[in-house]
A and B are shown apart, each in its own frame.
Chain A
Amino acid sequence: MSWRELPIGGMILEPGNSIARRTGEWRVFRPVIDQDACTRCLVCWMYCPDGVIRVVDTPYRTSKGRLWSFTLEIDYEHCKGCGICAEECPVNAIAMVEEVK
């Protein structure tokens, strides 16, 4: 492709394609959810600036025997590792783990 074929001024003419940019590559620290400690309050889901906290219909039974009907997962392809989820989590169920040591 040359300059002629590019949309004028670098406009993006197709909506919703930011998913194609893997911003997860930017991450230095990876948030990891402790599924046992998590109370499913969804505070992380609300605070996440990139919408990478996913609510998944997978049941989860904790080590103490409590059954949750859903699980929270992180989209690591797009999570930039900002740490806001870990900061906001009221039960400290999210740890920030260094990607490369």
Chain B
Amino acid sequence: MQVLEGYVKQVRVMLNSNYAVAYAVRDVDVDVIAAYPITPQTGVVEKLAEMIANGELDAEMIHVESEHSALSAIIGASAAGARVFTATSSQGLEYMHEVLHIASGMRLPLVMSVATRALSAPINIWCDYSDLMNVRDSSWITFIASTAQEVYDTIVEAYMVAEDPRILLPVIVAYDGFWMSHTYEPLYVAEDKSYVRTLVPRRDRVKLDPQKPVTMGALVGPDWYYEIKYQQVAAMSEAYEAIREYDRVIGRAFGRFYEPVEAYKMDDAEIAILTYGGIYGSLVEAVDRLRGEGYKVGAIRLRLWRPFPVDDIVRVARGVSKLLVVDRAISYGASIAGPVALEVIASLHRAGLDLDVVSYVAGIGGRPVTESDFEGMFKLALKLGRRAREIGTIYWGVRGVSYD
């Protein structure tokens, strides 16, 4: 038992990120879960099934024949007023694709965890963020966690955000497949799960009710469709502020304070490296090593992917002259192939900042990204100087590709 001074009583447990998801879903007391097993997400659903069987969680588990059906089933349950959950990875997320837009368009507060994984073909079950980046325009609020602790906290926060009447959009909480989904870390969870339920009280919203019938997802022609889509634009922008509020709610409850963008040794940094997900820990190690060699370097972690935290990126990156962005997904044929690098460049452009952004793609298909890789990327960027801009995107570690 651990009592963090001034915060709710918590127990220290050893969990992988899949199980951390299940613990949080149990603690917020969901009503309906529908999911289809896919590596590396399977542990989430296995643990939840076990919790339901043990009587730890009073929820309906709907066994479905596909991810398309899993998401459709929880859309129905959510429309009827239930608190719902699903989880997937890779091909499963892509199979959900058309339904993702229906969920957000119907403004349903669903929560889904994604253990990120590469896409076929060739078939590959290991981690990269190709699956997540493919669904970036589906109007789902998207967090990317970097520890099992953050996964637990963010699932709780996801329900706060999704069910906020100002927002009412579905939320994805993503984390590295295998690197996080299958590795165990110590973390704190609330000792009394009823306390977590008080953090996410049930809120009233329009739902399917035979006594007061409504129609959701009806046909809308060119005359009004655009206004309804604009509502989603407005809700996304509202969500950015609301997420900062809920970051503080989580902080005050558990003693762990998150922000859309996390910074490490950025106060006097001249060069920064930005990444997201589980490899951030290796980046922090690399920054310490490079500091030891005398480089004024800092680390930045993106925690919120949608809405993209433009203001936070600009605030954190303003002081540096060079910013390396390490993506684990490829936007094929794009001007900049790293999806996050592209967003960072656009954010800096909006603020009128013209600093050297170097887009790196690494870790594709589960290839490890170690401290030495970050050091190598850093040193290559120094060597290339302004030439990195002309190159556009550096594909780190591909055999037969060199930039010297």
Using a CB–CB cutoff of 8 Å, the interface residues on chain A facing chain B are 2-3, 6-13, 15
Contacts and interface: CB of A to CB of B under 8 A. Distances in A.
- Interface SS of B by simple majority: loop
A50 to B, nearest CB: 15
Interface residues of B, number: 19
B68 interface: no
A12 B218 CA distance: 8
18 contacts: A2-B227, A3-B227, A3-B234, A8-B168, A8-B206, A9-B105, A9-B168, A9-B216, A9-B231, A10-B217, A10-B224, A11-B206, A11-B215, A11-B216, A12-B214, A13-B214, A15-B213, A15-B215
B227 A8 contact: no
Contacts of B217: 9-10
Contact of B228 (A9, A13, A15): A9
B107 interface: yes
Contacts of A2: 227
B214 A6 contact: no
A13 B227 contact: no
Nearest to A10: B228
A81 to B, nearest CB: 19
Contacts, number: 42
Contacts of B105: 9
Interface of B: 105-107, 168, 206, 213-218, 220, 224-225, 227-228, 230-231, 234
B215 A12 contact: yes
A11 B227 CA distance: 13
A6 B218 contact: no
A3 to B, nearest CB: 4
B228 A3 contact: yes
A100 B307 CA distance: 52
B213 A3 contact: no
Contacts of A12: 214-215, 218
A9 B214 contact: no
Contacts of A8: 107, 168, 206, 231
Contacts of B230: 3
Given A3-B234, A15-B214, A9 B227 contact: no
A88 B15 CA distance: 64
